[in-house]
Amino acid sequence: MKKKTYPHKTINGIKKRIHTHVMEEHLGRDLEKGEHVYHVNGDPNDHSIENLVVIKKRLKDEHRTL
């Protein structure tokens, strides 16, 4: 299975994945430890807020095994 690559952007000298930046702006805070942004439709280039949800890392790992 090919690993997905996610686009990055440098903001204030910090390199972040674009979907992480979009979600942090939406939430008005940085992600907490263990939080990750998940693309609902599986498209790593769709950064619409409707397509992004915050999940705990444990749930992300469980999803990968399904």
3-state secondary structure of 31: coil
Q: Where are the domains of the chain?
A: 8-64
The gap from C-alpha 56 to its chain's centroid, in whole angstroms, comes to 11
Residue 2 has pLDDT above 80, yes or no: no
pLDDT in tens, 10-46: 988 999 999 999 999 999 999 999 999 999 998 989 9
Task: For residue 23, give the 3-state DSSP assignment.
Answer: helix
Per-residue pLDDT, 58: 66
Q: What is the 3-state secondary structure (H, E, C) of 32-55?
A: CCCEEEEECCCCCCCCCHHHEEEE
Pairing of strands 35-39, 52-56: antiparallel
Q: What is the residue type of 35? A: E
Residue carrying the six token digits 């939406």? 26
